[in-house]
Structure formats: structure tokens, C-alpha cells
Amino acid sequence: MTAVKHELGPKNCLYPMPTTLVGALVNGKPNYITIAHVGIMDPGTVSLGMHKSHHTNAGIRENGTFSVNLPSEDMVEKTDYCGLLSGRKVDKGKLFKTFFGKLRTAPMIEECPVNLECRLVRTVDFPNHDIFMGEVVAAFCDEDILADGAVDFSRFKPLLFTMGDAGYWGMGDRLADAWSVGKKLKYQ
């Protein structure tokens, strides 16, 4: 039986997305903002879509660096809080233990199981949004979520976001091996 399709209109349905806490030094202080609109440009480059009004944007532009911190499910309250209040009014850096890597100006959150330290390589200005593209110069990961040198997502339990229901979600079970499961069809 064929499914009946319902048109949703011009909606972006590329969800769920990983929820991240983007870090930048703003006026010399660590600031973190919740951002789910993060993408991979190529394996070594990430992009962030951020409204121009965000306090964090000034720090990214000033220092030419930022971090992308991936919280786990148990960090949902602090993560949501960082998206509710502006760093202009609240010192969100006090919520976390901050550490720095090679660049010295991209604050990262110790409590987040995965952290990416990024150097800004390009900014694209849209009327209401900035797109920041950054080269990942270092990635950090908690030892207890590593398996064979890679992140074990069943141990990590990343926090996901969906726009349609404005919800935070957990990740489900691993289904199959990429670049492998489709071979059954490829050779028929």
C-alpha cells in the first residue's frame, strides 16, 4: 500500500539535529549559546547558522574562533537555559567548567562529552543571520565514551532537537553499518 503524502508547505524538515552549545569569548568572558543549526561542510569544517542579534556572534567575529560542544541527554536543563537567556544579561559561563585548547580563545565545556575547537574561516552575512564556517583544529572526547578510538553514541547519548514539536530527544538504537548494509541490493 502506498502512503498518502500531505504537503507541509515550505518547511525545512531536516530534523532531528544535534543540539550544541556554541562557545566564544565575548568581552573576555566565556559565553555559551544553544544552537541546533550546525552542519558539516566537509569532514574538517563545520557551519553555524545564528541570528545576528545573538551576543555570541560578536565574540566569534572578534576572536576568529569558537567551539561546538555536544551535550548529553542529562544536560538538557542547562542546555535549554543557555538558549533562553542572552549572555548580555546573564553570565552563562558560570554554569560550566571551561577549558581551552590550542587556540586559547575558544572556550569549551568540560561537562560536554564531545568538544570541537574551531578557527573561523569564513562568515556569510544574510539579512537576519550569520553563517559562521570554522575549521576544526582539535576535537576532544571523554574517555568513557570511546570505543576503538571513536565516539560510542550508545554511551554518549547526545541531545537531539526537532523544530516541528520544539522538542529535545534522545537517539535510538543503531540500525546497520553504513557503506555496507546496502550492498545486499547493489549486487542483485
Note whether 87 and 95 are within 8 A (CB). no
CA distance linking residue 152 with residue 146, whole number of Å: 6
**Highest mean pLDDT (candidates 3-7, 39-43, 73-77):** 73-77
Beta bridge partners of 109: 98
**Which ranges constitute the DSSP H helices of the chain?**
55-63, 76-84, 153-156, 183-186
Note whether 55 and 87 are within 8 A (CB). yes
The residue extents of the domains of the chain are 17-186
CA distance linking residue 82 with residue 22, whole number of Å: 10
pLDDT at 188: 62
- 2 versus 112: the higher-pLDDT residue is 112
Q: Which of 178, 179, 177, 160 is nearest to 72 (CA)?
A: 160
Mean pLDDT of all residues in 50-68: 97
CATH match for 17-186 among 3.40.228.10, 1.10.3300.10, 3.40.50.12280, 2.30.110.10: 2.30.110.10
Q: How far is CA 155 from CA 40, 141, 147, 180, in A?
A: 23, 12, 9, 23
Q: Is the pLDDT of residue 131 over 70?
A: yes
pLDDT at 15: 94
Q: Is the pLDDT of residue 98 over 80?
A: yes
| Long-range contacts at 7-13 (CB < 8 A, ≥ 24 apart) | 11/164, 12/163, 13/164
Q: Is the pLDDT of residue 186 over 80?
A: no
Q: Is the pLDDT of residue 78 over 80?
A: yes
Alpha carbon of residue 45 to chain centroid: 12
pLDDT at 43: 87
Q: Is the pLDDT of residue 64 over 90?
A: yes
pLDDT at 184: 84
Q: Is the pLDDT of residue 187 over 70?
A: no
Amino acid (1-letter code) at residue 13: C
pLDDT at 112: 98
Mean pLDDT of all residues in 143-153: 95
CA distance linking residue 167 with residue 147, whole number of Å: 29
Q: Which residues contact 46 (CB under 8 A, 6 or more apart)?
A: 38, 39, 40, 68, 116, 118, 133, 134, 136
pLDDT at 12: 87
Q: In degrees rounded to 5, what are phi and psi of residue 62?
A: -65, -45
Mean pLDDT of all residues in 99-103: 97
